[in-house]
């Protein structure tokens, strides 16, 4: 039986953003092996028909012992299942999984879903990661990128020389995320932030902007959906609780289903520092919600500035505040029209079926 092995670092991301790929592979008769840290989506992934192999990954930072154990784990899985093709997603699976595929002479396809902080900051860690990437990607059948800047960076650093393709992120399931009626402005104006609470996702700028906006527009409330990322709780939890007590924000923690929050919000903000391609923005735009996001690669591609949303200078609370206040000054009809334009744009450029088709084309090529 033809076997595909997928290596990634989070089962929730796999299920939410690549479920259609799993379904397509299974429908075409592949045995699908998923190697991922044990998580709460195991039942759903196994229900699709995949084999679920729990694999511990230290997602953040570099721990030589744990990373070596991960490298060895991938080697054992490859020997156990003898896959026809291996697909890797996210940094550590991209490096250690690809290296093991190369050693085992198994065709492999790498997906650079974002560079990450360590790779973008000059220093010893960056040099080490670039060296590992050069080794890992050298024999890849194809390397997928989600935005042009990531592709350019990796080319300039000598990490990719062979075939690579640009895809529109994970795309968005346009049937699952349909256009929602735009809410009236009877009481509160809701500004929604769907995030992982950490510095690089712009939480400091968001909290600062929420205070500034609330002073001038007291009928505005910022809703935050998402969990604290590892050590960020000690840094930001007290401030979040303070602003919630003062009625400036509402914090809901992690939520499996974000549709109810999208349905009642008027604007989605995303002040992140870096992205591969923002799924948050794609799902918001597909739901016919205007967006305001950092003017960076991975965000700016998701909407047309001034039509479906507003771009602002990253890492700048004042710029975020100005963008939100500009939005609040618009007529209700104009806000609704921005949401409609956002939906139209993702329909044209980010249909997930196109992403799945790109993967399938490269898998067939790799099998030859």
- 15 and 108 both lie in a single domain: yes
Distance CA 50, CA 22 (A): 8
In a domain, 179, yes or no: no
- 137: closest CA among 118, 105, 110? 110
- 345 and 264 both lie in a single domain: yes
In a domain, 90, yes or no: yes
In a domain, 315, yes or no: yes
In a domain, 55, yes or no: yes
The phi and psi torsions of 9 (rounded to 5 degrees) equal -110, 5
What is the model's pLDDT at position 85? 97
Residue 304 backbone class (left: φ over 0; alpha: ψ -120 to 50; beta: rest)? beta
Distance CA 220, CA 247 (A): 9
Structural domain containing residue 48: 3-171+352-367
- 161 and 93 both lie in a single domain: yes
The pTM (predicted TM-score) of the whole model is 0.86
On whether the CB atoms of residues 135 and 99 are closer than 8 A, the answer is yes
- 311 and 269 both lie in a single domain: yes
Task: Give how many domains the chain has, as a whole number.
Answer: 2
CA 100 to the chain's CA centroid: 25
In a domain, 363, yes or no: yes
In a domain, 113, yes or no: yes
What is the model's pLDDT at position 103? 95
Any idea which residue has 């196109």 for tokens?
A: 354
Distance CA 259, CA 287 (A): 8
- 195 and 334 both lie in a single domain: yes
Specify the CATH number for the domain of residue 79: 3.40.50.2000
What is the model's pLDDT at position 162? 78
pLDDT in tens, the chain (368 residues): 799 999 999 999 899 899 999 999 999 999 999 999 999 899 999 999 999 999 999 877 677 899 999 999 999 999 999 999 999 999 999 999 999 999 999 999 999 988 777 777 777 888 888 898 999 999 999 999 988 888 988 898 888 877 899 998 889 999 999 999 999 987 789 999 999 999 999 999 999 999 999 999 999 999 999 998 877 888 898 999 999 999 999 999 999 889 999 999 999 999 999 888 899 999 999 999 999 999 998 899 999 999 999 999 999 999 999 999 999 999 999 999 999 999 999 999 999 999 999 999 999 999 87
- 273 and 287 both lie in a single domain: yes
Instruction: Order the strands of the 249-251 sheet from edge to edge.
Output: 249-251, 220-225, 189-194, 267-270, 291-294, 309-312
- 44 and 137 both lie in a single domain: yes
């Amino acid at each position: 039986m033809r076997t595909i092995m997928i290596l990634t670092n989070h089962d929730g991301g796999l299920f939410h953003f690549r479920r259609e790929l799993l379904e397509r592979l299974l429908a075409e008769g592949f045995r699908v092996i998923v190697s991922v840290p044990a998580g709460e989506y195991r039942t759903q992934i196994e229900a699709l028909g995949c084999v679920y192999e729990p694999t511990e990954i230290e997602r953040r930072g570099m721990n030589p012992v744990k990373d070596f154990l991960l490298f060895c784990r991938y080697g054992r899985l490859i020997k156990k299942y003898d896959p026809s093709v291996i697909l890797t997603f996210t940094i550590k699976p991209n490096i250690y999984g690809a290296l093991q595929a190369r050693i085992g002479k198994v065709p492999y396809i790498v997906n650079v879903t974002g560079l990450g902080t360590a790779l973008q900051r000059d220093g010893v860690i960056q040099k080490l990661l670039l060296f590992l990437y050069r080794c890992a990607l050298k024999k890849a059948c194809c390397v997928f990128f989600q935005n042009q800047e990531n592709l350019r960076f990796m080319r300039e650093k000598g990490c990719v020389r062979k075939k690579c393709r640009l895809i529109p992120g994970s795309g968005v399931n346009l049937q699952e995320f349909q256009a929602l009626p735009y809410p009236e402005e009877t009481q509160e104006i809701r500004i929604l932030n769907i995030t992982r609470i950490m510095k690089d996702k712009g939480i400091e700028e968001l909290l600062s902007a929420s205070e500034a906006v609330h002073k001038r527009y007291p009928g505005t409330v910022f809703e935050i959906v998402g969990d604290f990322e590892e050590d960020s709780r000690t840094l930001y939890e007290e401030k979040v609780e303070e602003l919630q007590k003062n009625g400036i924000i509402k914090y809901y923690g992690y939520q499996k289903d974000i549709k109810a929050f999208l349905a009642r919000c008027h604007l989605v903000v995303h002040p992140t520092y870096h992205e591969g391609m923002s799924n948050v923005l794609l799902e918001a735009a597909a739901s016919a919600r205007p967006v305001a996001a950092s003017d960076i690669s991975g965000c700016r591609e998701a909407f047309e500035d001034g039509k479906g949303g507003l771009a602002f200078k990253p890492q700048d609370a004042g710029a975020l505040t100005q963008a939100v206040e500009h939005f609040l000054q618009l007529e209700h009809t104009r806000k609704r029209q921005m949401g409609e334009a956002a939906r139209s744009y993702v329909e044209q450029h980010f249909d997930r079926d196109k992403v799945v088709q790109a993967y399938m084309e490269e898998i067939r090529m790799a099998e030859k």
